[in-house]
Structure 1
Amino acid sequence: MIKAGSTERLPTTGWVQRLDSIGVTEAAVSVAPPCPPEGRTATSGREWEPMFDAAGLEVLDRAECLELLKTVPVGRIVFTDQALPAVLPVNYSVWDGSLLIRSGAGGKLAVAIRNAVVAFEVDEIDRDSGKGWSVVVVGRSGVVDHPAELAAAEEAAPRSWVSGRDRLIRIVIGSISGRRVGEVP
């Protein structure tokens, strides 16, 4: 590690060269405090305080959103069907930075979302306490048909509720956001 004020330098290759090109010194990098995860604010030590939006909902970071996606079996895919918005409940799984959904080869869903930008939403709310969370994903959809990834995707994909659902649709997670609500008064 290069200490602040030192004249010693690392070789100017790779990331060091890129940092130099934008005016960031090695010393500044070596003494910079860690950045909090997205959606969190720093406190003393390494604990992160939650951030809240204007409505008082806790803003979840990407890692927490991804973990919450894995906890419920059903979500809602939002897509365009004949120039109108459409929403369908689907079972899904999280795989390799993507969501996997099963559909029939000629099914409405498979046809409507091929290579389209779609949204996907999951949530869990306790009716009694009002506590809960919601996660929204926006990404590009496509059919998983490359032989090199099809076997692994098949293994990770959700089991179909209906026969004839032999097509795997992948939604590559582009953006992801989430909110959590505490007790409602």
Structure 2
Amino acid sequence: MSGALEEPSEPRSLSEAESLRLLASAPFGRVVFSRDALPAVGPVDHVVDSGSIVIRARLGWSVIVIGVAKRITEPDESVRLDGVLKPWVRGTMDHLVRIVPEVVTGFDLVPALR
């Protein structure tokens, strides 16, 4: 995404082929699943293989936050948070979004006992 905070944006629908092409070009993504009857999202490594997506699950913890997201537009707050929130991918990230948690859950994926 690019552009100033004041620029409006709108979603553009992608075709299935374009979506799979974009997905195949990324080294990792997110999987959406249901946990306690609520939607949850977790990061995964993936590959597009013959039109299907194969993911590799990792051991470790995942925290799921469900809440209201609001764009941060106050300039002083944006500058302060920009100094502590560093992107983990290359590229410009112009927008800061605050999520006020309403539900916080998590899980730890550990080896199964045999």
| Smaller-chain TM-score bracket | 0.3 to 0.5
Instruction: Pick the structure with greater CA Rg.
Output: 1
More relative contact order, 1 or 2 (CA 8 Å, 6+ apart): 2
Output the TM-score relative to the length of structure 2: 0.43
Whose strand fraction is larger, Structure 1's or Structure 2's?
A: 2
TM-score by length of 1: 0.29
